[in-house]
Amino acid sequence: MGNDVHNTESQSGLILLTGATGYVGKNLLGLLQRQGRRVRCVARRPSRVHTDADANTEVVAGDVLDPDSLAPVLAGVDTAFYLVHSMGARGDFEELDRTAARNFAEAARAAGVRRIIYLGGLAHEDTDLSRHLQSRQEVGRILLDSKAQVIEFRASVVIGSGSLSFELIRALVERLPVMICPSWVRTPAQPIAIRDVMQYLAAAINLPPGQSRIFEIGGADRVSYADIMREYARQRHLARLMVPVWVLTPRLSSLWLALVTPVLASIGRSLIEGVRSPSIVRDNSAMSVFNVKPVGLAEAIRAALAGEDAELAVNSFADLANSPSARPGRALSRSGNRILDSRTITVPASRHQAFAPIQRIGGTTGWYYGNWLWRLRGLIDLAAGGPGMRPFRPSPDSVSLDDRIDCWKVVAYEADHLLRLQAIMKLPGRAWLEFEVVDDRECSTIRQTAVFDPKGLAGLLYWYALWPVHNMVFGGMLSAIGKAGRTRSADDRPKRRS
């Protein structure tokens, strides 16, 4: 049966999505909405889902660890996606996942849910399973107590920007020109692209009623973790030396990972213990049941990197700064490989008045703060063979796409709302600077976001070595722009006649 065969009852039924704020849930919500499905999202903090929800999506508050909150959440639900995982939470993640699954199974049985679709990890019980993989498989068994048809997908390494395993591999390759590789990097796997995982999950909605099933899913290639690292390095044009060792235990590996990657030592240890088990598809029934043809490793990584560029092109940088992977409440945060410096200021001015100083930035106007530092950076760029920082604008007051403004190129522009610039200087990576102005009652909020996509260790060293200067310049620039917007507002007020 292919995924183009639709079951009328499931097509029109209400779908519950748990874990909508997570990486897989966020991607799945977008796909279900594009398919025109009726979706109800449940989250402990519904505000984190509202921005992604369309008119067909209902967002409700609920918590799988609070059984009393689940009855109204599951009322009228035909199919439920269970995408909850407690790894990284405080406490015993196994017990938390066990409790959450039991609560959900009991509530689903009481509500008469017809089908539960669950995403777990691919490993086989005849191998030495880690606590993490044992817990993933235990959750699948607990969900059977719901008496619903449970469709469990066991996936190999998921390749996509935001996937914890992919981000771990990315961080290692980006930061370490020489990698000490313990035995776990030689474990075989069948990495699968996030878009293929989404196709499998969405297609399961249309399965006919019947027995619960387990499907093993993976990509077209069987490779080692070292092969994944090499392919990522090749596509990022990074020269990397991999030195094999045999004595690095999972505990020591996790502590080492905590020093060189954003992953906490406890999560890193759980992941490494898991990759000791091969994640190879033995049962190919998913290929015959679903009309999904998974791509190979190279295409999966290529799609992940292209997706990041597409995300930069279509989204406001404010969305990146507020994404689940970014650190809220801080000017400096991360989104995937990208480093973000996002700041806001509110001014008592209209959006037009607040945007006016941004409209004139660069050229003879300058950059509002530290112009001598900008000129110095331009001289360094000239010495390195770059275009430098020559004051230049086609027009002192108007902006158009592809305009050059000093050492930047205009890549997005909306009058009185948005200006996005991409650096044309020589850099160990790519850089953007965005200004966004939104109305805030009788005031306007200006958000200034700098984004840097470092290339390898050189890019990271460049950013953090200049961070004190960036912090001073970005803070001073936004403050001066806000002051100029307030001045423009005062100048535009009607003058009282004497």
**Looking at residue 145, what DSSP letter applies?**
G
Find out whether 238 and 455 touch, Cβ atoms under 8 Å.
Answer: yes
Q: What is the mean pLDDT of residues 8-16?
A: 67
What is the SS3 string spanning 10-56?
HHHCEEEECCCCCHHHHHHHHHHHHCCCCEEEEECCCHHHHCCCCCC
CA gap 358, 341 in Å, rounded: 18
Residue-wise pLDDT tens digits, 107-142: 999 999 999 999 998 988 767 777 778 888 999 999
For residue 245, the model assigns a pLDDT of: 79
What's the distance, Cα to Cα, between the start and end of the chain in Å?
Answer: 84
Share of the chain above pLDDT 90, in %: 57
Distances (CA, A) of 68 to 27, 74, 104: 28, 11, 11
For residue 314, the model assigns a pLDDT of: 62
For residue 290, the model assigns a pLDDT of: 96
CATH code of the domain occupying 316-491 = 3.30.530.20
Q: What is the mean pLDDT of residues 439-445?
A: 85
The full set of domain ranges for the chain reads: 8-310, 316-491
SS3 337: coil
Per DSSP, the residues of 415-426 read: TTTEEEEEE-S-
- Classify domain 8-310 at the CATH superfamily level: NAD(P)-binding Rossmann-like Domain (3.40.50.720)
Q: What is the mean pLDDT of residues 314-341?
A: 64
Tokens found for residue 362: 């660069």
CA gap 224, 227 in Å, rounded: 5
Query: Is residue 497 predicted with pLDDT exceeding 70?
Result: no
Q: Do domains 8-310 and 316-491 have the same CATH topology?
A: no
Q: How many CA atoms lie within 13 A of 146 on its CB side?
A: 32
Query: Is residue 325 predicted with pLDDT exceeding 60?
Result: no
For residue 490, the model assigns a pLDDT of: 60
Query: Is residue 2 predicted with pLDDT exceeding 90?
Result: no
Beta bridge partners of 60: 42
Q: What is the mean pLDDT of residues 270-279?
A: 74
Query: Is residue 351 predicted with pLDDT exceeding 90?
Result: yes
For residue 410, the model assigns a pLDDT of: 94
Query: Is residue 267 predicted with pLDDT exceeding 60?
Result: yes
- Which of 184, 153, 190 lies closest to 277, judged by CA? 184
Per DSSP, the residues of 368-390 read: SS-HHHHHHHHHHHHHTTS----
Query: Is residue 312 predicted with pLDDT exceeding 80?
Result: no
User: Alpha helix (H) ranges present in 115-163?
Assistant: 131-143
Q: At what angle do helices 164-175 and 456-465 cross, to 10 degrees?
A: 80
What is the band of 88 on the pLDDT scale with cuts at 50, 70, 90? low
Q: Tell me the range of 92-96, 386-390, 475-479 where mean pLDDT is highest.
A: 475-479
Query: Percentage helix, strand, coil, to 5, in the chain?
Result: 45, 20, 35
